[in-house]
Amino acid sequence: MAKQLLITNSIKALREAHGEMTQSQLGEAVGVTRQTVAAIEQRRYSPSLETAFRIARVFDVSVNDVFEWDDK
């Protein structure tokens, strides 16, 4: 399995729960590219705090509901 960052996220689940929102739509809403959204989902990139808050705002949840620290 490819190396991943320690921060997990539930962006994919949240996208699916919000009317099958695409990565492109989410990227457009928060001001990043589709590739960056994909990298965040795959735990290959940790977004800035600002982008993390923007993502949480899109889904109307707190940052803690989107991102979590993975101790494993």
Partner 1 sequence: MSFQEKSAWVMALALTVISIMCGWSVYKASVAAGGLVSPSIGLISSYTLVLVVIVVAGQVVISICSPKQASTPADEREIHIERKAGYTSGWIMGVGAVVSMSHYLHWNNGDMLFYMVLGSMALAAIVDYVYRIVLHRSAII
Residues that bind partner 1 (CB under 8 A): 2-5, 31-36, 39, 44-45, 47-48, 51
Q: Are 50 and 56 in contact, with CB atoms under 8 Å apart?
A: no
- Provide, rounded to whole angstroms, the least separation between the CB of residue 18 and partner 1: 21
Give the Cα separation of 11 and 63 in Å (integer): 11
Q: How many CB atoms sit inside 10 A of residue 61's CB?
A: 14
- Provide, rounded to whole angstroms, the least separation between the CB of residue 23 and partner 1: 12
- Provide, rounded to whole angstroms, the least separation between the CB of residue 15 and partner 1: 18
The residue (of 48 and 64) whose beta carbon lies closer to partner 1 is 48
The end-to-end CA distance of the chain, in Å, is 14
